[in-house]
Amino acid sequence: MFWGSRYLLKVLRDINKGMSTNPDVSWPKFKYLEGEISGNLTKTRTMGVDDAGIIHSLGYKSDMHIKTDIAAGTIEKQAEGLKGFIGTVEASDGNTYYMPAYSSSIGILNKKTGEITTVKKFNMTPQVRSGAEGANGIIYMPSYTSTLKIYTYDTKTGEVDSFTPTKKGSHGHIWGAAADKKGEVYMPPALNNYVAKIDKNGEFKYLDGPRVTSGVSGFNVKYVGATYVESLDKVFCLPRKGKKILIINCVDDTYEEIDLPAEYLKVSNVNRNFHGYLAPDGWLYSAFWADTYCFRINPETYEIQWKSYEKEFENCGIQNRGTGYSTAAITIGDEVYLGLAGTTKAVKLEFEKQLVISNEDVSPSSSATICGSCPSSSATICGSCPSPTPTATTCGSCPSPSSSATICGSCPSPTPTATTCGSCPSPSSSATTCGSCPSPSSSATICGSCPSSSATICGSYSCCNTCC
């Protein structure tokens, strides 16, 4: 996670909250983890990570508990049988909840201990495939059934309840949910034609607007997931069998559908993807289902790109192509881990470290620059400097002989440079870059006045403007 000083004119945004994106960003590298899961068809549609860096994936139709060790890059199958779960909810109480699709119990991951427990809460399988926590600490779980039911789980008391909204249209089915920063829950239609919402007071309603079709009709699933991008205050829903992307504006509850490119539709399979995930590069990616093609959308510009990973999937141990390759994904740092959904091997996608992005265009030179007046003691840049010859520059008039600019950390170049020039009245003023330098193309720009005793930027950096 990355932070920018409040005193800077250009703001660096948290990558996990939808940072500005680079239109020329490269696609992630595809890597298999060590180990292979044998036995019954491996179908997992859940992923939750504990504080020790272990990803826990529970079975969909087969008894299964797969552990992925992030640090070791390995997978293993546990002996205990856990099945019937689709989708997870990261709750404010520190637990991860596994949604009961074909189970009468809710699965609970204690992130501190890594222990998974199941709590029987239903007399039958509620057909829940997603959920989201509202402002009141209640997890709302819509059912994938003709008569829509909304099940509720109170994270404070452990109590469950349900209600049946007034039916609108011929189908009730919902398979996706996402909460915005106000704690209001948005649910795209799977077989219905209307976007549903539960407000911060727990009131259910359908949003006013046009019928949602995703370009398909009949018993074709439109949307199965929902991803919230906080910086834009929008929910993005990627299609299962549809031809469009649904975008919900949480500010005014309007929504629109945009077309997937015709060129992409020509080469992709009908059953394209399951969910989407917000990647470290700020783009939203589709999770592979029965298709080796992956598409991504820039959440700011709505630009759509796609790529075939057919060659990479040749050694995945696919058991049945119709079951998919991955139906779940989890973003951790600069990597995305894909759950097994008909494969015997697990996949990690490695993204280049790229932070930044200011409100103005930056030049393609590799440097971190502090520009402006710095009347007090110091301005500091901390993080990764990607270039073989990273530079840190302080620009202005610096009459003091003791003023300095320093680069420290792990950098690929044996001779990183630092330049001091200009106006910094404090004899101890300094500009500092520190950290590692793993990425070839990330960027950061800091310009303006720094009226406080210190201004600190932490993260990964690349090209920026010069100012002197």
Domain boundaries of the chain, sorted by first residue: 27-350, 368-460
Q: Distance between CA 304 and CA 265 in Å, rounded?
A: 12
278, containing H or E segment: strand 273-278
CA geometry: angle at 71 spanning 66 and 74, to 5°? Answer: 40
pLDDT score recorded for residue 336 = 96
CATH number given to 27-350: 2.130.10.10
pLDDT score recorded for residue 403 = 37
pLDDT score recorded for residue 327 = 82
pLDDT score recorded for residue 341 = 82
Closest by Cα among 35, 117, 13 to 355: 13
pLDDT score recorded for residue 23 = 55
- The rounded mean pLDDT for the chain is 76
Across the beta sheet with 116-120, the strand order is 85-90, 95-100, 105-110, 116-120
**pTM greater than 0.85:** no
pLDDT score recorded for residue 14 = 35
pLDDT score recorded for residue 41 = 67
Q: What stretches in the chain show pLDDT beneath 50?
A: 1-21, 355-468
